[in-house]
Amino acid sequence: MTFELLYTIEQISAKKGHQALSLIPSNSTISSSIYEFEFVDKIQFSLYKNNLKLIEYISSVEMSPYSFKFNNIDPVNNFKFCPKPASRKGYKVTRNKSHESSEINWSWKYSKEKSGYILINKNAQDLEIARISGISLDGQNTGMLYILESMSEDYQLIILFTACIISSRSLINSWRDLRSFLNRKKCKKYIKLL
């Protein structure tokens, strides 16, 4: 399988209280547009292209399914992104059933052999349509996103957005794990001093 669309994902500086990723085209077949993904914890996500907000999701509930709509694109709307049950590692991308267009049934699955997540199209005999590697999924500060070139631009945006959510959740979890570890060390040190 050949992935023609390649993006480098990097952490970048963001305004106070926010974190951000940039998605930079890594080959000449992609337009030169750079995307930015901004997030606040696990409850607010936004995707920008040339400072224009394309997609936004805001919620007060951290683990609820993420329902999102495009701000500036009409043909695609009403998508859902949700974690799979705790026993399985992965995420599901679907379209709301009320939408008249063809149903999307994609699944991000963790792959140990590829050290990252792969996105498969359940409606096309589990065809692999995208892949994420690096970017804190295996302890790196940068990563790569691979997308099949045959995907429409609208679907590419869905892939960019959901890939960034997965990357941001991994970044947040890594930071929280470190903070938790440091707090445990402090508690042990405090107990020893008593």
* Mean pLDDT value across the chain: 73
For CA atoms 29, 13, 184, 64, give the dihedral sign.
Answer: negative
Selection from 58, 74, 79, 81 nearest residue 162 by Cα: 81
pLDDT above 90 for 81: no
- Burial label for 12, CB within 10 Å (0-12, 13-18, 19+), is exposed
pLDDT tens across 182-194, in order? 444 443 333 333 2
pLDDT above 70 for 72: no
Residue 105: what residue type? Answer: N
What is the pTM assigned to this prediction? Answer: 0.75
More confident residue, 153 or 141: 153
Grade residue 18 by pLDDT with cuts at 50, 70 and 90: confident
Selection from 168, 157, 170 nearest residue 18 by Cα: 168
Q: Domain 5-193 carries which CATH code?
A: 3.20.90
- d(Cα 174, Cα 169) in Å, to the nearest integer? 9
